Structure 1
């Protein structure tokens, strides 16, 4: 529980700063004391009055406030809280943190603290993907800084991609996990994600239309709840989440080997879109067309990874969750798949082209368990992941 905890919240400059107001409100509802620190850039997006009213306390902005500094206020602030949260964490703030700069109140507090730090990055997709930002991220993670997000989606600048600040429930879950109260802390969970690529020759392959977005969101939500996540991913469009053990694979055979080599898990979630077949006679060199005959591809079935793990006699995870991507009779096909594979839960969805779900930002799923089928309303893939992670937490508690 978060009640009674004290959070020092640093609000950086960026359009996502508006979410910090909701974050303060929701933390206060949970009995958390929040002390806000507003950067100069952050004050361009939210007002000191708004933060002060919602937190019911004084906010801090200036390193050289004479009254506070007479008592070494920046040292006291940096150490009185249970956790420092930076939301949004801009590229500039991350660079200052990675470089050990201390030229304003926020960066000085971060350098002087002896407490844990959690950042929620938020910036343009190109800024997030820039080599310098990724170097800074790696440095911060190496220093023990915790990271939640960023998410993928439309941005205020009109572009699309990774860089949106994590949603408030995700940040709160990450705070809960960071303070040792995450409901899945100490649990090892295996997640597969993305497509597999089955070579035809060195430049062509068979694959499914999967971006890996839903599996990535699930791994991120579980990690935010404190789980130790092994994330086995094919060549997905979206980057893997921070704070998980990433195992990259290409083919279904490689995915099965990675799953079997992973440490024993209490929960295994098979969200990957594994290709059903591989090419037995794949070419060692690029197959050339001659305008006359077509190449004869000999196909063989790939291993059934979900069934292999779900039907293990020894070492089976207590909770095995499969996914069923269907285009018709979704619940009926998924229910039959659950029985056939031997898994405990199936998350079913309709991936017909008109739904826009395959490769899109949203999902509409039906959770099928021993208790029957429960259809969830269409929502973002991050929101679906959070709800599934909560159900898992309830099931294993």
Structure 2
């Protein structure tokens, strides 16, 4: 039997994994300056967490989740997104009791959705996401969007567009819901089966339908912005003011509803305008989810967050031809001549590594020429040459791979020399 990787997954191999590490370093650095702390939740959760938290009417819950029964017939699901687990953990671990609020969290890890694989979209994919839970201040909305933009800018992307909308508060959404039902009800039979189910479950989801996106009723559907009450209008205006104050441009799209049921007030997406990126331009999306903590049995704690696909970020970098230095090389490669020198090099290699110096030796019994080739392939900054004569004199020859200059130094001084000159 031939073993191959499951469809919709990928192996991230050496050479490519360094690009991922580079992005993760950017993410962690920006989260540190914004005081977001990492959390790690289980790969699988009880299925009800997602059906209640994400929403029964969403494509994620209806079509895309990997759900299975354990040995006691409990329904479990591989996590399809990160917000519901983060909020569950916030409630379960009583993070709301911390004196400093909002609680700022971030996560990086695999998510799972059964959907058609395509460029930059997999069935196992990796998301970076943040959640700020415990504040209804529109300033935190602006901070969350600014943080997402900072990640993309720091990574090197230039062709970006931030699109925002307001879904309003509960009262505004109810008024808009009734207007949508009245708008679609008479001709709902012209829409796909999913939209027909959503008419009464959550008519807002109809606006996000991919199959019927060209239907004339979608183009003439009532705008949520026309149903915002004064409080919701004031909130949305404040979010826009803060974004403008910090120099982040944006567009308003009244049809932006996002794919999850828990959003209210601010919703946003960040898109790539790069040529050749593909038909699906969304890089990240998020929004405010006041009421989700209460849905999970916790106290009232308004929240906002976003998630971005690492795969799509890397694809956008490729579309803009942004190069990431994947291999920085090693500090030192030890070339040995003779058995005694090879034996000594094992302990010398260990000492170098213990001192924080990246180093390597030959494990294939190569000739001297072959060892030099290995040093070159590994982009070694220094090549340390150790033979039996040098070993007897407790010296070692050190070659600067860039300049070609070679000198002889005491073995005891090798570590200090490399650290001082690297």
TM (norm. structure 1) is 0.23
Greater fraction of residues in helix: 2
Relative contact order (C-alpha < 8 Å, sep 6+): which is higher?
2
